[in-house]
Each structure stands twice: as C-alpha cells, then as structure tokens.
A and B are shown apart, each in its own frame.
Chain A
Amino acid sequence: QKEVEQDPGPLSVPEGAIVSLNCTYSNSAFQYFMWYRQYSRKGPELLMYTYSSGNKEDGRFTAQVDKSSKYISLFIRDSQPSDSATYLCAMSQVYNTDKLIFGTGTRLQVFP
C-alpha cells in the first residue's frame, strides 16, 4: 500500500463547477501538506501549502487538512478551462527534511 493515495481520474467537469480533489495517507508523522498543479510537459507549480490541520483559502482555491482522518482536500470554485491540469498532493514530515511524498496525481479537465 502506498503512503499517499490519490484517485488518478480523469475528472471531467463543466466550466463553473466546484471541483473536489482528495488524498488519503497512512503516515501520521506528516505535518506539511501541499497541492501542486502540473500542466503537460511542465514542472509542478505550488498552489497551496498548509501546516497541520485546518483550512486555507486562496482565491478560488481552498485546502483542507483533517489529520484525524488522514485526509486532505483541495476545492476549486468556479472552475475554468485553464484549470485543466494534473493536481498532485504532497506531504512531508516535521523533522529536518524536505523530502516530499507525492500522490499519483488527478487529471482534471474543465470543458467550456
């Protein structure tokens, strides 16, 4: 079983829809949680970065972390065709390392 599980999709939604992307994890030592967006043939772009449990909002994006359930989510409101990309969750532990463990990524397509 992988440390981080993520539904690979693809997820296809109409423009304007609310999108929910999720990851589950098994290692309770994870303290930092990130969401990256990756366009085809590009490097991952950091979207959201959260520490421990709670919610964080940035424009149309909201990240939620529930450490008790080992579950993290990314919500995209008013989705746009330009949001079409692969979304990767990533996590790291608190002690002295930047080693990130990634989910496999969810491919999202927003159609006009």
Chain B
Amino acid sequence: KAGVTQTPRYLIKTRGQQVTLSCSPISGHRSVSWYQQTPGQGLQFLFEYFSETQRNKGNFPGRFSGRQFSNSRSEMNVSTLELGDSALYLCASSPGTISNTEAFFGQGTRLTVV
C-alpha cells in the first residue's frame, strides 16, 4: 500500500511570492491534515479536511489556506510568503472515522523563503 505522498520535496521561494503544496493520502483515507514543523515551535496543526470540507483549523493567519478534492488529494497554499514561513510542511492522512484516527505522515515539503 502506497504511503502519503507530498510534492514537491523541496522549494525555494522569495518573500512576497505564493506557493502551493500537494498531498496524496493513503488509498481509502478520507481525512487529510497539514502541519508546520520548525525547530522553535515543533509540529503545529494548520488545518484538517474531511470529504472536501475543512473540519478544523489551527491558529495560523489567513495567508495559509487549503482545500481537498473529491479523490481526497489535498493542496495547501501560502500567499505573500514571509521569511518566518520557512519550515517543513507535513501532510498526514487517516481513515477519518471516530473509531480510527491513526494518522500517517508523508515525507514533507521543505520550504525555504529567501
């Protein structure tokens, strides 16, 4: 069974630009969550999608947005990039049912803002 796939693996962007990251969940998983990981803050929850609907949102500014498609694939977008957005962005998928929230992570996309 293929794992969670994130593309691209690495990105370098300039301040003020926008970026879109992609995540393909494990087959059959309907929930996709996004996290930001930095050395100072650790892993912080960005948002969660289930059946194309945002089910939960973390404490990040509106420059961070996401969406989920009918095939459960998800994208996240960051507009007007700031230097502080440099981080490892991780996507996790799970079956999404109340009885099973076992979440599996992808390898992440390392974003560097210069």
Contacts and interface: CB of A to CB of B under 8 A. Distances in A.
Interface in B97-114: 98, 101-108, 110
A103 B42 CA distance: 8
Interface size of B as a range: 20 to 34
Interface in B60-114: 90, 92, 94, 96, 98, 101-108, 110
Interface residues of A, number: 25
B112 to A, nearest CB: 13
A42 interface: yes
Q: Is the interface of A mostly helix, strand, loop or mixed?
A: loop
Residue of A43, A44, A100, A101 with highest tally of chain B CB at under 10 A = A43
Contacts of B58: 99
B19 to A, nearest CB: 18
A94 to B, nearest CB: 7
Given A88-B43, A104-B42, A105-B42, A98 B101 contact: yes
Contact of B33 (A41, A46, A100): A100
A29 to B, nearest CB: 13
B31 interface: yes
A34 interface: yes
Given A97-B101, A99-B58, 8 more contacts: A42-B108, A45-B105, A95-B98, A96-B98, A97-B56, A98-B103, A99-B56, A100-B92
Interface of A: 32, 34, 36, 41-46, 49, 88, 90, 92, 94-105
